[in-house]
Chains A and B, each alone.
Chain A
Amino acid sequence: MTADLLYSDVEEDLRASVRSLLADHCEPAALLKRAESTEPYDLKLWRSLAADLGAAGLQVAEDRGGQGASAREIALVMEELGRSVAPVPFLGSTVLATNALLASGTDHELLGKLASGAATAALAVPLSTGPDRVKSTVDVSDGVLTGRVGTVADASVADFLVVPAGDGLYIVDTGFTVSELVSLDLTRRVADVTLSGARGTAIATGAAAAEALTAALTAGAALLASEQLGLADWCLEETVRYLKGRYQFGRPVGSFQALKHRLADLWLELVSARAAARYAADCLARRDPDLPVAAAVAQALCSEVAVHAAEECVQLHAGIGMTWEHPAHLYLKRAKANQIALGTAGRHRAALATLVDLPS
């Protein structure tokens, strides 16, 4: 079967619901206020999104408590979350932890809880970990986990952790501490996790655990591309809107060709990014063997397109773009953090070199 790179009507309906929910919660002023508060995550929004809209269970089968949709729909939610830089633990819980559980084949009750939005989890690896570089810093002996993992995404609101330790993959619900870090990305926090004598439930060991972890990170990379796409889309749209209305030298700044051509080029980058992100999501949904290539291509393209879009957004908004009150910086911070997340573009290109036989 060939890949479907379009959005279905059902997906567009889902987009509309997610977008209208996010519109109510992600006003720039509210985002900023929250970012500087002691509760950087919007858990009310999270409950509406995860439980009421059922977004947390889209990728999980119905008989395991989910919606029985697919990664394509998750990707769509990611697009919308990127467009609004929403402060919710979707990447950590719904994308990374849930995919780790799905890939391990476990029927642990946690999967159902994650799918229903009753609990959230985080995958205990540094957010910068790419699918090709998995290395555990947690020791395990007799099912007891000890160690420290830095910069874990969405850990500060996680009820559970999914932890790669020794040569296994474990679920941990107590016996760990989380210390918040000051994150570059104000709307997605990273935290240090310390496990000292946590009792874990093994859900996979040996090769199966390594495979599940790689699968989770590959799925993460494939889906993060959609968030990057959505983010870039917002930056372009907002910049175009602003430049149509901003007058200097007696005409709209957006009528100057030097700027029009930069925006046309950015739009062109987005056309490729959209196709690549959709292809990665579709490969993930169909378990296509081309997924590793698709995910690497999507990350190599989308992470750079998102950063470029956010940087252009700041530059073309000029003075106002440099302020704290204008949301452009929230997008730049998310875009730059995402560029590092789940493997940089450079690392994905290096992985591709092997995958498509272009050795160094």
Chain B
Amino acid sequence: MSLTADELRERTRKLLAEHDFSDRLAFLRARFDAGLAWVHFPEGLGGLDAPRALQSVVDAELAEAGAPDNDPRRIGIGLGMAAPTILRFGTDEQRKRYLRPLWTGEEVWCQLFSEPGAGSDLAALGTRAVRDGDNWVVTGQKVWTSSAHTARFAILVTRSNPDVPKHQGMTYFICDMHAPGVEVRPLRQITGEAEFNEVFLTEVRIPDANRLGEVGDGWRVAQTTLMNERVAIGGHAIPREGGMIGIAAKLWRERPELRTPELHDRLLRLWVRSEGVRLAGTRLRQQLAAGSPGPEGSAMKLAFSTLNQEISGLELEMLGEEGLRYDDWTMRRPDKVDFTGREAGYRYLRAKGNSIEGGTSEILRNIISERVLGLPSEPRVDKDVAWKDLPR
């Protein structure tokens, strides 16, 4: 029998009564140990086996009390992707070892998936993993790895068997980013800063105990990671004008001298679309709470990226002359994505990544048309060919 909203509220109040906020980390650890980190996780692993929808009860209670949070912007990959994958495929030791410091943010995670030759076609990747007794020896190059410079651990997909078709010969690991042979080099990007990196793996020894899932089953494990990545987006309720549109609307209200009829029309159109997408997100959460998740999940990321890009583009035009300036091109290695802490030019440029990271908009449209609408896939030439014989 699962917990009710009232019981969770009680437990949250008890946590608040017993722990103050003076030591942020201590509070976060206590919250995890009380099962109030992600209530739908198992007991002992930060949860209480409660319905996922009830997390909002806990969050609301803690927010009202002004409790410190674990800053999901900084540890998004760990929370959204590594955690559900470890929960599903990890051994008991792995779950016990990794989930708590992951959730508190003591250990940041990154995702070593993309390679120079394998982005959208993730299953084409070539980073080799060769078995050597109780270890694996991993060599290859990963790229566009967000947060690799702050990460303690990585989720890593490798090629363990090149002689079978590409989806079959992959194996999934937890990689220690401090292990010998792991080298992280900043990759400066469109905004001037280096949020992502190149990661070179040279004969990195990974114990077999750090494997997630069976040997050769890496594709299936990676699917869990990717599915969770898309569900994580659009996950929490936002108020009207809560997203990028709020920034543009505020500018419009505060600066009458910037207004023109043409900008007005575009702003209103984007306002209406933002409100529609916001309501769709609300509807999606209501479906999840009612236990009937709709296919809308895969839609939210696609919708948000397009809107973010159009709105941030409009914002720059609204600014006119001021839009010709940029706040700062200094090469930095930030530890989180911060859309609101910087100016319009940054937002415009950073938003370009929204339709690329975590699956491009084109790939999402393929997913919607095939899995939601049931349209036939394109003819495939790579399905039954051994990975090593694929054209590159």
Contacts and interface: CB of A to CB of B under 8 A. Distances in A.
Interface string A267-298: 11001111110110000000000000000010
A358 B256 CA distance: 10
B375 interface: yes
A349 B378 contact: no
A265 interface: yes
Nearest to A268: B299
Interface in B326-384: 362, 364-366, 368-370, 372-379
B355 to A, nearest CB: 13
A303 B53 CA distance: 33
Contact of A264 (B252, B279, B365, B377): B365
Interface string A348-359: 011011001111
A255 B249 contact: no
A130 to B, nearest CB: 15
Contacts of A251: 376, 379
A267 B373 contact: yes
Contacts of B261: 360
Contacts of A279: 279
B17 interface: no
Given A5-B279, A263-B369, A360-B261, A254 B375 contact: yes
Query: Would you call the interface of chain B mostly helix, strand, loop, or mixed?
Result: helix
B280 A275 contact: yes
B67 interface: no
A275 B259 CA distance: 30
Nearest to A260: B369
A272 B303 contact: yes
B373 A360 contact: no
B377 to A, nearest CB: 7
Interface stretch (B182-190, B223-231, B265-273): B265-273
A320 interface: no
A274 B271 contact: no
Contact of B375 (A5, A240, A350): A240
A265 B364 CA distance: 10
Contacts of B269: 300, 349
B268 to A, nearest CB: 4
B248 to A, nearest CB: 10
A252 B375 CA distance: 9
A127 interface: no
Nearest to A255: B376
A192 B25 CA distance: 73
B282 interface: yes
B42 interface: no
Given A254-B375, A272-B273, A279-B279, A358 B368 contact: no
Nearest to A276: B276
A104 to B, nearest CB: 30
B185 to A, nearest CB: 35
B65 interface: no
Nearest to A357: B253
B49 interface: no
Size range of the interface on A? Answer: 35 or more
B275 A297 contact: yes
A257 interface: yes
Contacts of B290: 6
Contacts of B379: 251, 255
Interface centre among A265, A267, A272, A297 (most CB of B within 10 A): A272
A172 B263 CA distance: 46
A3 B362 CA distance: 33
A278 B283 contact: yes
A243 B264 CA distance: 39
Contacts of A358: 249, 252-253, 264, 267-268, 271
Given A271-B299, A358-B253, A360-B259, A244 B271 contact: no
B277 interface: yes
Interface in B277-333: 277, 279-280, 282-283, 286-287, 290, 296, 299, 302-303
A301 interface: yes
Contacts of B303: 268, 271-272
B314 to A, nearest CB: 13
B369 A275 contact: no
A10 to B, nearest CB: 14
Contacts of A349: 265, 268-269, 272
A4 interface: yes
A247 B373 CA distance: 18
Given A265-B365, A349-B269, A358-B252, A275 B282 contact: yes
Nearest to A236: B373
A259 B283 CA distance: 27
A267 B365 CA distance: 10
Contacts of B369: 260-261, 263-264, 267
B375 A244 contact: yes
Given A5-B286, A240-B374, A274 B272 contact: no
Interface in A1-21: 3-6
B87 to A, nearest CB: 28
Most B CB within 10 A of own CB, among A3, A6, A260, A278: A260
A276 B275 contact: yes
A272 B376 contact: no
B365 A261 contact: yes
Interface string A153-185: 000000000000000000000000000000000
Contacts of A264: 364-366, 368-369, 372-373
A279 B282 CA distance: 10
Given A260-B375, A268-B302, A276-B279, 15 more contacts: A261-B366, A263-B373, A265-B365, A267-B299, A267-B372, A271-B299, A272-B279, A272-B280, A276-B275, A278-B283, A297-B276, A349-B269, A353-B268, A360-B259, A360-B261
Interface of A: 3-6, 236, 240, 243-244, 251-252, 254-257, 259-261, 263-265, 267-268, 271-276, 278-279, 297, 300-301, 349-350, 352-353, 356-360
24 contacts: A3-B282, A240-B373, A240-B375, A251-B376, A254-B375, A254-B376, A255-B378, A256-B378, A260-B366, A261-B369, A264-B364, A264-B369, A265-B365, A268-B302, A268-B303, A271-B296, A272-B280, A275-B276, A301-B273, A301-B276, A352-B268, A356-B271, A358-B264, A358-B268
Interface of B: 249, 252-253, 256, 259, 261, 264-265, 267-269, 271-273, 275-277, 279-280, 282-283, 286-287, 290, 296, 299, 302-303, 362, 364-366, 368-370, 372-379
5 tightest Cβ-Cβ pairs between the two chains A and B: A272-B276, A260-B369, A275-B279, A255-B376, A264-B368
